[in-house]
């Protein structure tokens, strides 16, 4: 043997991928899992697997979620998260935290929120688990999008579109308020 390199354990790779939104890692892991020869074929394999295993109507064109053709409903995301409750997934998600009315994390709050955020121009998502002290865990997914505004963006404005930062702040605040409300009412 000339060279050997061992990567971190898969759980650690996944945790870092989710924490830092490392899209390249998502694509490589998805391609490795499917064995397909292209992102499109691999995304279709994942779509077919999710439909067969969980009855999801999601359509994936890649594994990072960056492909404009990828679609998943909040209902399908919750179905997938419910199915994953007893797996390693909750352990690799990051702490999101409960937030106040201005969107700031409330330190020491008894309700834990773990999940994954996702942000593109005029698209913001938050999905995961609310873990209140009562033990009645909640699963949620909130997707906010202004697809028309996103589609109108010229390539020259895709990095920092005008109004994008304020739109994202409002979307994240809405998500935080919904999670707080659900935790208070159902948790």
pLDDT of residue 31: 96
CA-CA distance, 14 to 119, in Å (whole number)? Answer: 18
Q: In a 3-state reduction of DSSP, which class is residue 159? A: coil
* Strand-pair partners of 128: 115, 140
Q: Which residues of the chain have pLDDT under 50?
A: none
Asked whether 110 and 134 are in contact (CB, 8 A), the reply is: no
Model confidence, pTM:
0.90
pLDDT of residue 66: 87
CA-CA distance, 64 to 50, in Å (whole number)? Answer: 16
pLDDT of residue 1: 81
Taking 3-state DSSP, the helix, strand and coil percentages for the chain, each rounded to the nearest 5, stand at 45, 15, 35
pLDDT of residue 101: 83
User: Hey, where are the domains in the chain?
Assistant: 8-72, 73-187
The region that residue 97 occupies, defined by phi over 0 for left and psi between -120 and 50 for alpha, beta otherwise, is: left
> How many other CB atoms are there within 10 angstroms of residue 126's CB atom?
23
């Amino acid at each position: 043997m000339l060279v050997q390199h061992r990567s971190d354990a898969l759980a650690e790779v996944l945790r870092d991928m989710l924490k830092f939104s490392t899209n390249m890692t998502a694509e490589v892991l998805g391609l490795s899992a499917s064995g397909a020869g292209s992102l499109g074929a691999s995304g279709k394999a994942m779509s077919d697997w999710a439909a067969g295993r969980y009855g999801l109507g999601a359509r994936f064109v890649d594994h990072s979620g960056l492909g404009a053709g990828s679609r998943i409903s909040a209902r399908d995301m919750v179905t997938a998260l419910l199915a994953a409750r007893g797996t390693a997934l909750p352990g690799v998600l990051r702490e999101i935290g409960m937030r106040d009315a201005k969107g700031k994390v409330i330190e020491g709050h008894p309700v834990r929120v773990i999940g994954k955020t996702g942000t593109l121009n005029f698209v913001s998502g938050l999905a995961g688990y609310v873990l209140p002290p009562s033990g009645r865990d909640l699963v949620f997914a909130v997707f906010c999008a202004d697809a028309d505004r996103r589609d109108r963006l010229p390539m020259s404005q895709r990095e920092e579109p005008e109004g994008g930062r304020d739109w994202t702040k409002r979307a994240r605040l809405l998500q935080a308020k919904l999670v707080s409300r659900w935790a208070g009412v159902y948790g």
